[in-house]
Amino acid sequence: MKHIFLNLKRFDVPVSLGGVNRIAPIGQWGAHIVSATQEALKAYDPAEVEFVQYFPEAHLLSAVAACCENSPVQVGCQGVYRMNTAPGGNFGAFTTNRPVSAMKAMNVNAVIIGHCEERNDKMGILAEAGVTDAPAVNRILNQEIRLAVSQGMRVLYCIGEKDTELDRWDAVLREQLEIGLEAVDKSRVVIGYEPIWSIGPGKTPAGKEYITKIARFVKQVTGGIDVVYGGGLKKDNAEMLASIPEIDGGLIALTRFQGEIGFYPDEYLEIIRTYLGK
C-alpha cells in the first residue's frame, strides 16, 4: 500500500494577512481543496494507494461535507489531545484542546502526530517549566497516539533528527519510535520520516542513500511499519523517492516554492502523478 499524505498546515491564511492562500476565500477553502482533487484521485485503486488530507480544525466540517460518495479523500486533523471524553467520565472540559471524540464526531478518522513543528511547540512549553529531556515529548505523543488508535483513527507518526543529532541519529530515532509507539496497535500507524536537518531554505536535501538507510532502520525497529518521506514530497524529488523500495509514500505540503508560493490543487495532483508514475 502506498500512502500520499497532505499537511495543509496554516495554508488557509490569506496573503494580505501574511499567509499563502490565493486559491479560495477562507470560508470555502477546505471544501475547495477536496472538491478540486477528489475526482482526479478516483483514477487510483484504493487497494493500492490512500490519500489523506490533514486540515486545520476550522476547515474539517466543510472538508468532510465536500467529500462525495466513495470519495478517495480521507479527511484528517492536525493533532489530538492526550486526554479524551468518556461516558460517565470527563464530558469535555478541554478548553483550547482537540479531543479524539470531537474528531470522531466530525467523521474525521485520521491524524498526524509528532510533526517537527508539534515537537518544537511541546519542547518549548516544557522548557519554560525547566524540562529539557526529549523523552518527555515522546511520552506525551505516545498518549496522543494511544488515544487516537483506541478510537479507530489512522495515525501518521512523524519522527526525525536535528542537525545537532546527526552523530547519534539512530539513538534519537529509536527513542522516538520505542517511546512513541509503546503499547500501540501498530497496524493503524504509518511512520513519517522528517530529516529536520535538511528541511528549509539553504539546506541540503537528504539524498537517496541516506533516506534508504533511515527507512530500513525504521522498518527494522518497528517490525515493518510502512514509512513515508516527510521531508516534503515534491515534483523535483518524486521520481527519486518512488525508486526507493523501502519508502511507501510521502507527505506533501507546499507545492510551489518560488514566485507565488503556496499550495495549489493542480500542482498537488501533478506531484502524485509523478510519484505514482501515472
The residues assigned a catalytic role are 115, 194
277: exposed, middle or buried (Cβ count in 10 Å: 0-12, 13-18, 19+): exposed
| CA 211 remoteness from chain centre | 18
How many whole angstroms separate alpha carbon 249 and alpha carbon 254? 16
Q: CB within 8 A of 222, min separation 6: which ones?
A: 177, 181, 186, 191
End-to-end CA, the chain: 16
Residues contacting 167, CB < 8 A, separation 6+ = none
Cα torsion 10, 121, 205, 250: sign: negative
Q: How far apart are CA 24 and CA 94, in angstroms?
A: 31
DSSP string, 214-266: HHHHHHHHHTS--EEE-S---TTTHHHHHT-TT--EEEE--SB-SSS-B--HH
Q: How far is CA 101 from the centre of its chain?
A: 19
Q: Which of 139, 132, 120, 134 is nearest to 181 (CA)?
A: 139
- Cα three-residue angle 160-267-7, rounded to 5 degrees: 35
How are beta strands 49-55 and 2-7 bridged, if at all?
parallel
